Structure 1
Amino acid sequence: MDKRLILFSVGNPGPSNRHSTGHLMLKELVSYFDVKQLQKKSPLYSITSNDDHSLILVKSNSYMNDSGKAFKKFIESERINLASTENLILILYDDFENKIGNVKLSTFKNHESHNGIKSIQTSLTQANNNNNGVVFNLGIGIGPKPNNASRDTMASWVLSDFKLEEKQIIETVGLDVLTTYLGEIIEVNGDIKDCNKFNAHMAKMLKGN
């Protein structure tokens, strides 16, 4: 892949739970890609990369609602040019709209329901940056979410621990699907023109495996 691939995970500091699925998967990817352990670069983010820096893994150290601050600090400190299509940034997050273990690639919507994604979108807007097709969401499914859940119920649920069997699905099936997605993104050199078509292509590929 000619482009530089950047994986940026969002979540909360502290023990792992549903809302920290992005961090959980990033930790697995550190081992999968056989790169050095994450190093705390600032209070707001930790980072590692492969030898030629074509792959960069970043963990937000802020709370979910402040993910945009961590993202902004990373972009500024590492001098990442969001106007350059030489970079492809994927935000790893817990997707409560998707079945556990599934993965979905998407662009930023006008009204994001996920607070971490919403915070990053706000930071991009404030910087007058439309991200030029460089930044995408890569959600790891943690659903199904509770039926007819109120805002308070949802807040409690996403902050609760995985059941043992759920965590096993995330760390096996979820990781396998995620790495397959990443492999295909690398194969097409990060050239994602239509996320819906890409997800449909991936669903067909995974079904055939």
Structure 2
Amino acid sequence: MIKWITKLFSSIPKEENTEDNIKPEVHEHQKNNIKNVSKKYLIVGLGNIGAEYVNTRHNIGFKVLDFLAKKEGLSFETVKLGSLAEYKFKGRTFFLLKPNTYMNLSGKAVKYWMDKENIPLENILVITDDLNLSFGTIRIKPKGSDGGHNGLKNINLVLNTQNYTRYRFGISDQFKKGQQIDYVLGEWNAEEEAKLPERLEVSAEIIKTFGTAGLENTMTTFNGK
């Protein structure tokens, strides 16, 4: 009798879906995403190489990265397709890239270092000048057209997408008809020079915030400031 009762109860299936036994299902792609969350960022400052371009409006991307590197005691190393400095901050690694391809071929350098360091598209920030914004105005966007900017135009072409973050630094459009090129490739005036240090400090914070707090928080904190 005892054997029969024991056999009876052992044949009853165990209740598998009790609250204690339920575990959240994690799909394979979710496991991979959790495992492969990148803490590497590619920060690209657009500009032209050569002493004659160092202090020009079109080189604000270079100027921002130079400022951050000096502030943090970093050195740029000549590498393939550009100059590169590695900045570690709060568990993240920022690759500060100044392409040496000249503005019109910037995409080549971006694509090479993106692939070499296995950096996802969402971890790329491109810093560029913008004629449509008043001097020093900040505009951070997750995507968009090239707006007539040759550097962005080439990046869009090479990456085959517009879906990467860009930080547009306003340089205003205070030039006469037919003088756009001279204005963009011209040096900052005295008033702009006086205001640049504060704008560069903010720009350095934008880079760090982008990597540590994410794009949405960066846009909320800095856009229009």
Q: Could you say which TM-score interval applies, normalised by the shorter chain? A: 0.7 to 0.9
Alignment partners' CA distance in 2, 1:48 and 1:14: 18
Greater RCO, 1 or 2 (C-alpha within 8 Å, sep 6+): 1
CA offset digits 1:116-159 (Å, max 9, x no partner): 1111011111xxxx48x5x310112211x036x55x42122101
Provide the identity percentage: 23
Q: Residue 81 of structure 1: CA displacement?
A: 3.8
- After superposition, what is the alpha-carbon deviation per residue over 1:14-66, rounded to whole angstroms, capped at 9, x for unaligned? 1321111110111001123x143110112x21111135761211111111111
Does residue 1:159 correspond to 2:159, yes or no?
no
Q: Distance in 1 between matches of 2:148 and 2:84?
A: 27
Tell me which residue corresponds to 1:14.
50
Segments of 4+ moved more than 4 angstroms: none
Q: Does 1:31 align with 2:64?
A: no
Deviations 1:57-80 (A, max 9, x none): 11111111111122122223x232
User: How far 1:183 moved relative to its partner?
Assistant: 4.4
**Structure possessing the higher radius of gyration over alpha carbons:** 2
Q: How far apart, in 1, do the equivalents of 2:126 and 2:134 lie? A: 18
Matched, 1:5 2:41: yes
8 Å contact kept, 2:141–2:165: yes
TM-aligned CA deviation for residue 163 of structure 1? 1.4
- The question of whether the paired residues in 2 share the 8 Å contact of 1:101 and 1:173 is answered with no
Q: Is the 8 A contact 1:65 1:119 kept in 2?
A: yes
Q: State the distance in 1 between where 2:111 and 2:220 align.
A: 32
TM-score normalised over the length of structure 1: 0.75
Aligned partners of 2:57 and 2:186 also within 8 Å:
yes
The answer (yes or no) to whether the contact 1:94–1:141 under 8 Å persists in 2 is yes
5+ residue gaps, structure 2, are 1-37
CA change 1:65–1:31 in 2 (3 A) is same
Q: Letter of the aligned partner of 2:120 in structure 1?
A: L
Is the contact between residue 38 and residue 48 of structure 1 (CA under 8 Å) also seen in structure 2? yes
Whole-Å separation in 1 of the counterparts to 2:50 and 2:191: 21
TM-score (norm 2): 0.70
